[in-house]
Structure 1
Amino acid sequence: MLARVIGAAHDLSWCDARSAGATTYDVRRVQLRAAVAQRPHLVCLAAGLADVRDPQWDLAATRAHLLHCARVLSHRGAVLLTTRQGAGRRGQAGSWRSASRRLRIRQLDGLYDELHERFGTIHLDPGDTGGARPSAAELTGRFVHELTRHGLELPAVSLARHS
């Protein structure tokens, strides 16, 4: 959705390198290569949820993979978009209910906070939404607002028609 909004005002080449269930190791090993090949100006770095679901989760390894990806992309001139993952996940059915998984999500959010501090990412903290996970349209709207605030000229576009 964000690509469509940006594409309404700018010449845009878009590459979707994501893969459901990919770990940060997968992102570093496969998706980073695909992203770098595109010579991106803007990259949404969102990884780590598959990692925290793994009973053998290694925070240090997740951190190393995310830092590597952010470093490579930043050094090639890409602006990174990141978002905290914990907002709205409390109370959802399934694995997010366990205290250990909630702790892992907070730790993952801390890694994204670190990326923001180290690499100047455009970083969203959707905040507490009262237990409801923000919709893709809401997150897109927030990114559009932040990109505009950082100087990217974007048209006023109704996100409802892009969902």
Structure 2
Amino acid sequence: MHNHQLCRMSIHSLDDTDRLGRMLAQRLPDRATIGLVGTLGAGKTRLVQSVAAAIGVPEGTATSPTFTLIQPYHAANKKIYHVDAYRVNDLDEFLELGIEELMEEPGAWVFVEWGDRVADVFPDETLWLRIEVASPTQREVTFFGDPAVWESLFFNSL
């Protein structure tokens, strides 16, 4: 996991999560891998649902991939692969899912919940989001990544 902290923000409501999802949908490059780190209930799935909604995936379509491991969503000429690494036993099992091919697919965004468990196979240009529960109504989101890739795309214009 790339350790350069790019930005930190507080989220106080589901509306804030939806705004963050819309911002990501507007600013992510054509192809991106996003590692999501956080405890159970931190909001990882909700954030992916917000990104999916922002590109036109019908409400209720985006669900947790806990049991399917990979959930694909398609809308607006964009593909989202929502991956859950929580139940993956090891790196080999994760690779057997075809994850490297998904990460290289043109026009695809790959969101991996519990990505820190399998970070060794992530591209160097991965954007990492750590979501921490600060209180029942507040989350702290910290962005990590390669500044050469992400700072100009996201943070110089915020």
Same fold by TM-score, threshold 0.5 exceeded?
no
When the two structures are superposed, what TM-score results if normalisation uses the length of structure 2?
A: 0.43
Q: Indicate the structure with greater strand content.
A: 2
Structure exhibiting the larger radius of gyration computed from Cα positions: 1
